[in-house]
Structure 1
Amino acid sequence: MRTFFLTFFLAPAVPLLAGPYAPAAGQAGSTAIARTDPRITAWANRVAAWQVGANCLPQWQDTSRALGPAGDDPTHITCLGDGGTITLAFPGFIADGPGADFAVFENAFSDTFLEFAWVEVSRDGVNFVRFPNHSLTAAPVISFGSVDPTDVDGLAGKYRQPFGVGFDLADVGLDQVSHVRLVDVIGDGSARDSAGHVIYDPFPNDGSAGFDLDAVAVLHLKQWQTLEVARLGPDQVNALAMAHLPDGRMLLGRQGTLGVQSVWGAPALTSIPAGGLEFDPSFIAVRSADSALLGAGGGFGGISGLHAFDPSQPALALKEPPLAQVQNYNGLYWRSPSSGAEGWLIGGANGATGRHSVTFVSNDGTKSGPLTGELCTYSSGLAADAQGNLFAALYELPGTPAEGDSEWVLKFPAANVEAAVNAVLAGTPAPLPKSGGTRVFRFDSASSLAVDAAGRLWAGGFK
């Protein structure tokens, strides 16, 4: 009798591993970071730069899909295309802490179909350093072919969705960064790792070729960064004005000097010539990347110039003649989101009897006039929100008849502010009375006011 033996060979659920690096997600020794990892404190929230590579259809080029938390939908991604790049920013700074500081998530559908990207970081959004990376894949990988994850280290894309690859800032010698840049690795054999080895990944692919970014998570978030950009001299206690350009760079005015931050996140300043002007700056206000205004200040009660300048061309001096000559304690750029009416609002002792009021000055300086009547004895904080509402703080000395008004903040509705602006532009000023402002809050000190992007009112000053 002939006996037949039927033998079954059971393939493992995961590939046999041969390389020296961490294995796939879920295996012992894996460094994969799950999208639900409790260490994650924030996600990328802004695309700072983007350059799509070849072989990527428009439907995969929505960069907003790279922002916010990682998901489990393989179609909710931003495709880089062959050789493409994307630079991301965050709600704070990524700081060096124990272990991985951030993680990059791709949309790989298996543990072995892996598309890679180099990972680079920057403290200022301009100068980047690349993480060390290693690839031991010995031969080209066909379209939808397999890569052993244990042959790869230091490249984004090593793990399947919804797992990310962690990166430690200590590996590049940085204590904190502001930007992460991903650069697609073209898998045709032309790319090299840090040791000069060829990096292979599935190639060629069409339609959504290259790295498919799902998200970038932050494990160690630092909300604030301290940069010493200048020191004030002993005679410059009150001589400081600051503002920010749309790209985040700072403008800094000190007694007799004005500068623009050369690179975001770094302390160096590029000087803007004063053109022979003397000033003790009261404020800097920004209209756009190429339009700003400096209040020359000059102490209590005196008038001085409002000087326009172009921050995008720091070699150009402050413009003369000034847009206007008024007492200026503070100032801001104001624009109506409904009609587009715009100009500068200047706080100072310009009332009929020398008390604090708000003056409107047109962008070109050809029109100016009172926006409000007299509000209080001494100049105080001034701010506007995105809707065009105006906030003006009141300041009175203790023991004076108007002491009860001190440190209240008045809110003037946007529609009323716009009407007063249009009246000045028409040559028939109709100042808003103090009674037209609603008391919204009383701060301990409100010599400075600001409204953030969420519409929250902030105040600061001295007692």
Structure 2
Amino acid sequence: MKKQLLLILFFALHTAMYAQFQPQAPLSGHHAVHKDDTLIKAWATGAVFEPGWIQITDTTLGRVSSGNISNVLGKAGFNLISMGDGGVITFTFDAPIVNAEGPDFLVFENGFLKQDDSTLAFLELAFVEVSSNGIDFVRFPATCHIPDTAQQDNFSFTYAEHVNNLAGKYIMNWGTPFDLEELKGAPNLDINKITHVRIIDVIGILDDSLGSRDKDGRLINDPFPTPFPSSGFDINAVGVLHNADGTQNIPIRNLRLRIYPNPAMATLQVENDGYPENAAIVIFNAQGQLVHREDYKTGIAIDIRHLTPGSYIIRIQNEHHVYQTRFHKL
């Protein structure tokens, strides 16, 4: 009986030691964000890709050749770029990413759940770095507690609880979040003006000279080898939760703007206390894209029949003020 209790205690402690982060999506307690969530304001609009090796231990196989830049710009979907061993891709945006409450941007990959166990998934991992000048990059401190007793391969599944601050933690359609607050005080970095996000494929081989390591010096056990043109981290997209859209330093007032009906199908009536001079009405979709603009006058009725169903942000704005609220198009 004592032996059984000791074994139970050992495995409980072992689990607590290594399963310390958030679980896989969509399990309770995960912190991923789905690609269709209206929290996402924008998506990456540019990228530069440096392909990695198909297999770093046999460079005669050459570099990866699966996917192109257009696959990974805009909203996350089915298209991607396979990065190869040690591959690097650097994303740019129409407006800088800024530090705000909670996570500030997301990285999407194409991992998938184990068919008979939704707590496990096939994951490929990558480091994430950011820059506010395109020259100096700072890496998010990554932690990996995936056991290193056996090399992960193309048939291995992983607990998301073992991974933190590595892109690829979550399965396809669920973005792994990154919070710029964690990098506050880093030299040569303005966390309120992030212009570049860099993704670097983890070389997952359990080899002291070749393998990638987490912030504590542990080798990161990632599927290896994957000797195909589509090897390595499969980048899908980068989504933005908080950005500088040109009005971030202007006070945003929600209470003074009234719209009705809400939800609306064809016409949206807009009223505001106090007529702002030289103002415009602008409407943004869930991806942060401008979908409508017209000059403002109080009591205006906006034709929204051209908008697709979904959630939108509407603003009345001039160079001094922004009045903002949300509405839903049926």
Task: Give TM-score scaled by structure 1 length.
Answer: 0.43
1:214 paired with 2:236, answer yes
Is residue 51–residue 64 contact of structure 2 (8 Å, CA) maintained in 1?
no
- Please identify runs of 4+ aligned residues in structure 1 that moved more than 6 A: none
CA distance in 2, matches of 1:101, 1:23: 20
Q: 2:225 aligns with which of 201, 204, 213?
A: 204
CA distance in 2, matches of 1:44, 1:161: 17
Alpha carbons 2:108, 2:167 under 8 Å: kept: yes
Q: In structure 2, what is the Cα distance between the partners aligned to 1:61 and 1:38?
A: 27
1:225 CA drift (Å): 9.8
Q: Which has the larger radius of gyration?
A: 1
Do structure 1's residue 194 and structure 2's residue 193 form an aligned pair?
A: no
Check whether the contact 1:93–1:224 (CA below 8 A) recurs between aligned residues. Answer: no
1:40 match: 40
Query: Does the CA-based 8 Å contact 2:129-2:198 persist in structure 1?
Result: yes
Q: Hey, what does 1:370 align to over in structure 2? A: none
Alignment partner of 1:90 is 2:107: no
Q: Which amino acid aligns with 1:22?
A: Q
Name 2:245's counterpart in structure 1: 223
Check whether the contact 1:52–1:61 (CA below 8 A) recurs between aligned residues. no
SS at 1:200's partner residue? coil
Whole-angstrom distance in 2 between the partners of 1:40 and 1:225: 17
1:146 corresponds to 2:157: yes
Cα drift, residue 77 of structure 1 = 0.3
**CA drift at 1:176:** 2.7
Q: Secondary structure at the match of 1:199?
A: coil
Write out aligned runs for 1:129-144 (5 A). 129-139=138-148, 140-144=151-155
Percent identical:
39
Deviation at 1:115, TM superposition (A): 0.3
Shift of residue 142 of structure 1?
1.9
| Alpha-carbon shift at residue 147 of structure 1 (Å) | 1.6
Whether 1:180 and 2:235 are equivalent positions in the alignment is: no
Q: Which runs of 5+ in 2 are unaligned?
A: 1-14, 55-62, 114-119, 185-190, 249-330
Kept after mapping to 2: 8 A contact 1:107/1:213: yes
Is the CA contact 2:133–2:195 (under 8 Å) kept in the aligned structure 1? yes
What secondary structure does 1:180 align onto?
A: strand
Given that 2:152 and 2:223 are in contact with CA atoms closer than 8 Å, whether structure 1 keeps it comes out as: yes
Q: Is the 8 A contact 1:88 1:181 kept in 2?
A: yes
Question: 1:162-194: per-residue Cα shift (whole Å, max 9, x none)?
Answer: 101000100111233000000000110211101
Aligned length: 206
CA shift, 1:79, in A, is 1.1
Structure 1 unpaired stretches of 5+: 1-15, 227-463
User: TM-score scaled to structure 2, two decimals?
Assistant: 0.60
Bigger relative contact order, structure 1 or 2 (CA pairs below 8 A, ≥6 apart)? 2
* Aligned residue number for residue 373 of structure 1: none
Q: Residue 102 of structure 1 contacts residue 168 of structure 1 at CA under 8 Å; is this kept in 2?
A: yes
Conservation of the 8 A alpha-carbon contact between 2:64 and 2:83: no
Deviations along 1:109-147, whole A, 9 cap, x unmatched? Answer: 225210001000000111100001100112221223112
- Does the 8 Å CA contact 1:21/1:153 hold for their aligned counterparts? yes
CA distance in 1: counterparts of 2:226 and 2:167, whole angstroms: 18
Q: 2:70 aligns with which of 64, 67, 82?
A: 64
Structure 2 Cα separation of the partners of residues 178 and 167 of structure 1: 15
Note the alpha carbon deviations across 1:402-449, whole angstroms, 9 max, x for none. xxxxxxxxxxxxxxxxxxxxxxxxxxxxxxxxxxxxxxxxxxxxxxxx
Instruction: Give the aligned partner of residue 53 of structure 1.
Output: 52
The whole-number CA distance in structure 1 between the counterparts of 2:99 and 2:146 is 30
